[in-house]
Amino acid sequence: MNYLIPFIILITIVVFIHEYGHYYFAKKFGVGITDFSIGFGKEIFGWNDKAGTRWKICWVPLGGYVKFFGDRNVFSQAEQKDLINSYSKEDRKKLFILKPLYQRAIIVAAGPLANFVLAILIFTIINMISGKDMTPALVNEVQIDSPAYVAGFKKNDIILSIDDNKVESILQVSTFINVSTSKKIKFLVDRNGNQIFFLVAPNYVDGKDALGNSVKKRIIGIKLSPIDNQFNKERLNPSKAIYYSLKEVWFVTSSSLNYLGKMIVGAADTSQLGGPIKIAKITGQVSKHGIMPFLSVMAYISISLGLINLFPIPMLDGGHLMFYSFEKILGRALSQKTQEFFFRIGLFALLSLMFFVTFNDLKDLGLF
């Protein structure tokens, strides 16, 4: 229960924001909405608003959906035409499928974009209230015969950037090293006022993260310390807070895409991929450390949800956007047969991913 309750709170907020993005623009463009659901399966409780939308909470808290007026499964263009003709002229104005292409695209894209906005808002709040660490990354020790030692690192070097990512905090060094998928990591350091580049091939070791979970870590053999042993944490004004929030969201997004690309070609470690069980575990662990760490995890999960939903896989928002792109280019929608073919591929891809991350989750729990 210590893990389950924080996880349900987190996933409910993240999913609600995602679905509300769809809902807001659907309402703005006059699309009728019959259901706004958090979770799947049997309804636990719900209510109807004045517009006739059923707002409900369901038993399986692993997602949600917004159901548009007239949204039914049809298996041919003829059936779709018959469905449209079955509605009155007034009701047709509320049908999603009859809205202009740009409106449908905005409605679909609004869900993932809402997740990115949520992450930016959370990081901004954290930067303003808790502050952002701005402590320079000073090398206090270089282990003999380590990758850093071989590359030429020396004590009192100050790390300025890693793989062209500017190091603005001592806390970023480990993150940048471990998200890098390069065989050799590029470092820029300051040594007595001179800037020097190093290429370092890290070692891979089995270790523990800050929460005590087993992870594979990349290490280069250095120990860092703040200059004069003083950490510099600054509370940022709104403009700076937003700026650094945007940078963080961009870094997480670009790093995730880079990792995915490397994983597809077999050049990245897939053992760290996790699903709902791992997310629930981490959420429960982090929630014990206070509201700010909990919000931080929520922001990262929100980015992940938004990014995954933009993948061009049918059944995801990105899949619909892909179909709309074809429709714009061709001047017509893809045939029903072609769409069904893509949907089968998408379903296979999603089921394969679900199986893989569930296996990793169970393995992480020691069941395999």
Name beta bridge partners: 64.
38
> Is 340 known to be catalytic?
no
Eight-class DSSP state of 96: G
> Could you tell me which residues come within 8 angstroms of residue 119 by beta carbon, excluding any fewer than 6 positions away?
245, 248, 249, 252, 299, 300, 302, 303, 306
Eight-class DSSP state of 3: T
Pairwise CA distance, residues 259 & 99, whole Å: 37
Spatial CA neighbour of 154 closest among 196, 94, 99, 108: 196
Count of residues making up the chain: 368
Spatial CA neighbour of 152 closest among 106, 188, 110, 116: 188
Given the residues 19, 90, 168, 234, select the one marked as catalytic. 19
First-residue to last-residue Cα distance in the chain: 23
Spatial CA neighbour of 25 closest among 113, 118, 122, 117: 113
Q: Which residues are catalytic?
A: 19
